[in-house]
Amino acid sequence: MISVFNPYDGTIVDSITESNLEDVEEALSILDKNKKIIGNLPLYKRAEILFNTAKLIEKNSENLAISLVKEVGKTIKEARIEVRRTAEIFRLAGEEAKRIHGETLPFDSVKNSENKLGFFIRIPVGIIAAITPFNVPLALAAHKIAPAIAGGNSIIFKPSTLTPLTDLKLCQLLYESGLPEEALKVVVGPGETVGEAIVKDQRVRMISFTGSREVGFNIVKKAGIKKISLELGSNSALILSDKGDYKSCAEVTVKGGYAVAGQVCISVQRVLVHKKVLEDYLNYLIPLVENIKIGNPMKEETDMGPMITESAAKRVEEWIREAVNLGGKILIGGERDRTLMEPTVLIDVPLEAKVIKEEVFGPVVTIIPFESLEEAIKIANDSKYGLQAGIFTDDLEEVFYAIKNLEVGGIMVNEGPSYRADFMPYGGVKDSGIGREGVKYALEEMTEIKTICFNLKGGLS
Catalytic residues: 231, 265
Contact flags string 199-218 toward ligand NAP, x per CB under 6 A: x----------xxx--x--x
Distances (CA, A) of 423 to 167, 388, 413: 21, 16, 18
Task: Report the nearest approach of ligand NAP to the CB of residue 451 (Å).
Answer: 32
Residue 385 CB coordination number (10 Å): 25
Question: Helix or strand or coil: residue 9?
Answer: coil
Choose which of 196, 201, 317, 342 interacts with ligand NAP (CB under 6 A). 196
Task: Report the nearest approach of ligand NAP to the CB of residue 52 (Å).
Answer: 26
Choose which of 74, 158, 205, 436 interacts with ligand NAP (CB under 6 A). 158
Which part of the chain contacts ligand NAP (CB under 6 A), choosing from 60-68, 128-136, 390-398, 403-411? Answer: 128-136
Closest to ligand NAP by CB, 217 vs 454, is 217
C-alpha angle with apex 311: 307 to 316, nearest 5 degrees?
Answer: 65
Q: Compute, in degrees rounded to 10, the torsion defined by CA atoms 12, 16, 22, 28.
A: -110
Choose which of 82, 201, 303, 359 interacts with ligand NAP (CB under 6 A). 359
**Footprint of ligand NAP on 87-126 (CB under 6 A):** none
303, 75 Cβ separation under 8 angstroms: yes
Choose which of 7, 94, 137, 233 interacts with ligand NAP (CB under 6 A). 233
Contact flags string 254-283 toward ligand NAP, x per CB under 6 A: -----------x------------------
DSSP symbols for 137-175: HHHHHHHHHHHHHHTT-EEEEE--SSS-HHHHHHHHHHH
Q: Should residue 133 be labelled a site residue for ligand NAP when binding is judged by CB under 6 A?
A: yes
Q: Should residue 385 be labelled a site residue for ligand NAP when binding is judged by CB under 6 A?
A: no
- Greatest alpha-carbon pair distance for the chain in Å reads 80
Q: Residue 184: CB partners within 8 Å, gap ≥ 6?
A: 145, 149, 154, 155, 157, 171, 174, 175
Closest to ligand NAP by CB, 94 vs 211, is 211
Closest to ligand NAP by CB, 135 vs 447, is 135
Helices 76-97 & 43-59 angle (0-180, nearest 10): 160
Q: Residue 311: CB partners within 8 Å, gap ≥ 6?
A: none
Distance CA 305, CA 329 (A): 24
Question: Helix or strand or coil: residue 48?
Answer: helix
Q: How far apart are the first and last CA of the chain?
A: 69
Element (H, E) at 215: helix 213-222
Q: With CB under 6 A, what is the number of residues at the site for ligand NAP?
A: 30
Choose which of 157, 361, 392, 441 interacts with ligand NAP (CB under 6 A). 361
206, β-bridge pairs: 128, 227
228, β-bridge pairs: 207
Choose which of 128, 149, 232, 237 interacts with ligand NAP (CB under 6 A). 232
Closest to ligand NAP by CB, 38 vs 260, is 260
CB-based burial of residue 146 (10 Å sphere; 0-12 exposed, 13-18 middle, 19+ buried)? Answer: buried
Question: Helix or strand or coil: residue 229?
Answer: strand
State the pairing for strand pair 237-240/227-231. Answer: unpaired
- Closest-approach residue to ligand NAP (CB): 191
Closest to ligand NAP by CB, 285 vs 412, is 412
Choose which of 139, 142, 162, 259 interacts with ligand NAP (CB under 6 A). 162
Which part of the chain contacts ligand NAP (CB under 6 A), choosing from 114-122, 149-157, 193-201, 347-355? Answer: 193-201
Q: Compute, in degrees rounded to 10, the torsion defined by CA atoms 164, 138, 143, 81.
A: -160
Choose which of 134, 258, 281, 370 interacts with ligand NAP (CB under 6 A). 134
Contact flags string 5-44 toward ligand NAP, x per CB under 6 A: ----------------------------------------
Contact flags string 172-191 toward ligand NAP, x per CB under 6 A: ------------------xx
Q: Residue 287: CB partners within 8 Å, gap ≥ 6?
A: none
Closest to ligand NAP by CB, 191 vs 333, is 191
Closest to ligand NAP by CB, 177 vs 263, is 263
Interacting residues with ligand NAP (CB under 6 A): 131-136, 140, 158, 160-162, 190-192, 195-196, 199, 210-212, 215, 218-219, 231-233, 265, 359, 361, 387
